Structure 1
């Protein structure tokens, strides 16, 4: 009996020694550090000064503290703009009144706002161009933005005689008014393109069959492959869309109106 037990122990030990031990499981390789770089692009366009024409006739002198009634029947004038024009006249030492016995009437003849052909903005080369600037400039050389043309026309009439003593007009486009460059951002992001392939390789090599097959063999794990991808442009500042440009119109009208009223010669 004792001999049989010893024999079984020897046979079992021999079987374990003969059994092939599988190779160690492969660990996932560490991913490389991925970076994201953000760049800013500036786009500019040519600007023009406002066009202004002002004519004052010598028939009647406009004197300080004379009264002026503002007539808005011919144009759609907001309460805000009306208040701004009144303040501009006060700054010229003229008194704004709502009474009909004023010395003069200031008639707002025209307040025109018209969308015109889009304005083209060209990319500006920075003082120290970044590495990818030339390629990006070729891909995004220009930007097209909505543009509004604004025109204001006024006339000052001597109330008692009905004589026109001053008339003026001014105009400007929205790009020349705000004069802001367009600022866009763009990102360069590194990505791993073969992560699924690496995961699949590790999973396949860690099966029991594969571990037995690679005993004593060196296995080369595929390296991660990286690709840099550029994002699309994202606008940071500067009016460009129709909505953004339209928001400028109250300020444009006030600006043109102020220029004109400043041209009135008050003695």
Structure 2
């Protein structure tokens, strides 16, 4: 009986000794630090000075403190622009009146605004180009923006005689008026491309069967693979769309009107 007990104890102890212990579970490797880099791009175009033609005839001298009535029947003039033109005449020492017995009449002959062909802006090389600049410049070499051509025409007439004593016209395109470059930004973002594969590998290696199979063996966990991806361009500043360019037209008309009125020679 004692022999049987000893035999059973020996067999049990041997069974425990030869039971195979599974390998330790694998843990997820730490993810690398991902970076995002933002770049700015500048686009420029050629500019032109406003075209101005002004002719003043010597038949009648325009004198300080003479009165001028503004006629707007031939053009659509906003109250704001009318006020600005009146102020420009006052600055020339002429008095604006609404009465019909004025010394002169200033007729706004034309206030034209016309969309023209798009203006092309080309990318400008920075003083210190960043690493990806050349590749980005090839991908986004130019930008196309809406463009408006503005023209203003005026005529000053001596009221008593009906003689035209001055006439002038001026014009400019929207890009030459605002002269702002276009500023765009884009980002370079790092991403992990094989995260699901790494997770699947860890999960598979942590099954009971796999842990038993890799006892005493080294297992190499796949490394994270990273890829840099560029975002699309995002405009930061500079008028480009039809809506943005159209918003410039009141200032363009005032600018051209001011240029013309400044050409009137007042003695």
Give the whole-Å Cα distance in 2 for the aligned partners of 1:237 and 1:219: 54
Task: Indicate how the Cα distance of structure 1 residues 66 and 5 shifts in structure 2: closer, same or farther if over 3 A, else same.
Answer: farther
Q: Which string of whole-angstrom CA distances, capped at 9 and with x for unpartnered residues, describes residues 18-72 of structure 1?
A: 1110000001011111111111000000000000000000111111111111110
What SS is found at the alignment partner of 1:106? strand
What SS is found at the alignment partner of 1:82? helix
Q: CA deviation at 1:256?
A: 0.2
**Residue ranges of structure 1 left out of the alignment (5+ in a row):** none
1:57 matched to 2:47: no
Give the whole-Å Cα distance in 2 for the aligned partners of 1:79 and 1:118: 30
Alignment TM-score, normalising by the size of structure 2: 0.97
Give the whole-Å Cα distance in 1 for the aligned partners of 2:223 and 2:69: 82
Give the whole-Å Cα distance in 1 for the aligned partners of 2:2 and 2:62: 137
Which residue in 2 is equivalent to 1:179?
Answer: 179
Give the whole-Å Cα distance in 1 for the aligned partners of 2:110 and 2:5: 118
Give the whole-Å Cα distance in 1 for the aligned partners of 2:44 and 2:148: 17
Give the whole-Å Cα distance in 2 for the aligned partners of 1:78 and 1:6: 115
Give the whole-Å Cα distance in 2 for the aligned partners of 1:86 and 1:18: 107
What SS is found at the alignment partner of 1:89? helix
Give the whole-Å Cα distance in 2 for the aligned partners of 1:245 and 1:9: 96
Alignment TM-score, normalising by the size of structure 1: 0.97
Give the whole-Å Cα distance in 1 for the aligned partners of 2:85 and 2:8: 113
What SS is found at the alignment partner of 2:99? coil
Give the whole-Å Cα distance in 2 for the aligned partners of 1:124 and 1:82: 40
Q: Which string of whole-angstrom CA distances, capped at 9 and with x for unpartnered residues, describes residues 205-246 of structure 1?
A: 011110000000000010111111111111000000000000
Task: Indicate how the Cα distance of structure 1 residues 213 and 97 shifts in structure 2: closer, same or farther if over 3 A, else same.
Answer: same
Q: CA deviation at 1:4?
A: 6.0
Give the whole-Å Cα distance in 1 for the aligned partners of 2:8 and 2:78: 108
Give the whole-Å Cα distance in 1 for the aligned partners of 2:61 and 2:154: 18
Q: CA deviation at 1:7?
A: 4.9
1:10 matched to 2:7: no
Q: CA deviation at 1:3?
A: 6.5
Give the whole-Å Cα distance in 1 for the aligned partners of 2:94 and 2:2: 131
Which residue in 2 is equivalent to 1:137?
Answer: 137
Q: CA deviation at 1:17?
A: 1.5
Give the whole-Å Cα distance in 2 for the aligned partners of 1:88 and 1:5: 121
Q: CA deviation at 1:12?
A: 3.1
Give the whole-Å Cα distance in 2 for the aligned partners of 1:181 and 1:100: 47
Give the whole-Å Cα distance in 1 for the aligned partners of 2:67 and 2:217: 103
Give the whole-Å Cα distance in 2 for the aligned partners of 1:69 and 1:154: 13
Task: Indicate how the Cα distance of structure 1 residues 12 and 60 shifts in structure 2: closer, same or farther if over 3 A, else same.
Answer: same
Which residue in 2 is equivalent to 1:79?
Answer: 79
Q: Which string of whole-angstrom CA distances, capped at 9 and with x for unpartnered residues, describes residues 67-91 of structure 1?
A: 1111100000011101100110110
Give the whole-Å Cα distance in 1 for the aligned partners of 2:51 and 2:76: 22
Q: Which string of whole-angstrom CA distances, capped at 9 and with x for unpartnered residues, describes residues 132-172 of structure 1?
A: 11111111000000000000000001111111100000000
1:239 matched to 2:229: no
